[in-house]
Amino acid sequence: MSNDLDDNSKVGSDERNTDGLPRARLIKRFGWVLVVVGVSTTALFTNCDGGFKYDPNSGKLESLGDGQNQSGDLKITTFNPAGMVVSEGQSLEGGVDYRLVATGTGLSSATIAWQITENSGACVLRNGVSDDTRYVMCDQSGRVSVQVSATFADGARSVASVPRTTAAVSDPNDACGASTASRVVFRIPANTGTSPWNSSAAPVLVFVGQTLRICNNDARGHQLHTNGNPCPHQPNTMATGAFYDCAINNTNGVNATTGIVNGTYDHNIGTNAAFYIRILNGQALYADATQSSTGRDSCATCHNPYSNSSVRNASFAEIKAAIASVPEMAVMRNGLTDDEIRAIEFALNR
Ligand code: HEC
């Protein structure tokens, strides 16, 4: 575990080989479709070829070279579902969704691309709410290295990566199982104890029509408290290894601003042991004209009402591509987030 960082030194040279080529890449897994689309900016940084310096303490890989670089403070911080920082050298637990956040000077105006450069841990990288955030979940014992590269307005480029060892899901064949298109598996992490199950910054995301399966990977018992939303209160405390299926049928009780359901926490501990569930309704989004720049157009305006949609079975990638390239669909640009498009995809494929 302590030699986590050894092979990171070669990322610099690999990186130059792949400069500017974060092409559209499709990963389909657990029913999620996720697309990492990079912008080809090769021309902008062909002169940025001074190599990279890795700082094992910070986990940063700094671009050296042409004097155009930003301050070189690009880095990735890893958070567990409870929002605690998982420091360098700590393994990633199997089946647990970790949030990766890139920070650095000037990042908000940079073009950001993410990729997994090493993946013997069978990890899946999922989009976050914004470009500076990704989620990674692994399910085998091995290694993963997630890399972020930022191309700044002046053409300078910085790269950082987090190499980690990964652990297998404690029992991949446990009763809980894996996520599918219609089921989102959330595991209460080991050592949660009386702490929150996750954080408001990284709520578990589910779509209306999916089942949220809550699994207890902790040594102590847990019990979901709800006020009837998004599903009935869990009747009993569940033991380690047990699970509770919470069917998401509507967005009742959801906070309009955050999209997070009110009043869900660990019944045995109280409101401090919060559990954040974010719900999106793809069918409603399909018909939501407020998502368009005109305020009048929705998918339904041009593709029929949901019940007989002309774009039934469209994939996330197809919807993204249509929004980006179909001239009539320009009104949908800058409106929907990737999560919302994924919710629409789910609704169109039910
Ligand atoms: C203002 C009209 C308009 C709106 C609003 C609109 N579309 Fe489209 N869309 C079109 C047109 C026109 C095309 C290209 C012709 C076609 O394939 O139907 C298209 C194409 C598509 C395609 C590609 C279809 C194919 O067979 O390749 C998909 C998928 C799609 N739209 C999904 C959506 C979704 C989902 C929404 C809502 C988020 C939406 N569209 C909103 C007009 C619109």
pLDDT tens column, 212-246: 999 998 999 999 999 999 999 999 999 998 999 99
Cβ–Cβ < 8 Å for 45, 16:
no
Q: Which residue is closest in CA terms to ligand 1's atom 24?
A: 311
Q: Which residue is closest in CA terms to ligand 1's atom 26?
A: 311
Angle 53-41-125 from CA coordinates, rounded to 5°: 70
Q: Which two tokens stand for residue 204?
A: 């578990």
Residue 172 — very low, low, confident or very high, per pLDDT cuts 50/70/90? low
Selected residue with higher pLDDT from 167 and 229: 229
Lowest mean pLDDT segment, chosen from 63-72, 176-185, 317-326: 63-72
Q: For 125-139, what is each residue's pLDDT tens digit?
A: 988 778 899 999 998
Selected residue with higher pLDDT from 134 and 63: 134
Query: Exposed, middle or buried, 181 (CB in 10 Å: 0-12/13-18/19+)?
Result: middle
CA-nearest of 131, 130, 111 to 42 is 111
CA-nearest of 120, 93, 99 to 7 is 120
In the prediction, which pLDDT does 19 show?
A: 31
In this model, does residue 193 exceed pLDDT 80? yes
Residue 48 — very low, low, confident or very high, per pLDDT cuts 50/70/90? very low
Show contacts of 15-20: CB within 8 Å, 24+ apart.
Answer: 15/52, 15/61, 15/147, 15/149, 15/159, 16/49, 16/51, 19/45, 19/46, 19/157, 20/44, 20/45
In this model, does residue 39 exceed pLDDT 80? no
In this model, does residue 36 exceed pLDDT 60? no
Would you say the CB of residue 88 lies under 6 angstroms from ligand 1? no
In the prediction, which pLDDT does 70 show?
A: 52
Average pLDDT over residues 129-150: 91
Percentage with pLDDT > 90 across the chain: 57
Angle 122-125-131 from CA coordinates, rounded to 5°: 165
In this model, does residue 64 exceed pLDDT 90? no
Residue 11 — very low, low, confident or very high, per pLDDT cuts 50/70/90? very low
Average pLDDT over residues 76-88: 83
In the prediction, which pLDDT does 170 show?
A: 66
Would you say the CB of residue 190 lies under 6 angstroms from ligand 1? no
User: Among 281, 294, 308, 311, which residue has the most ligand 1 atoms within 8 Å of its CB, making it the best to mutate?
Assistant: 311
Query: Exposed, middle or buried, 257 (CB in 10 Å: 0-12/13-18/19+)?
Result: exposed
Place of tokens 């709800």: 226
In this model, does residue 29 exceed pLDDT 90? no
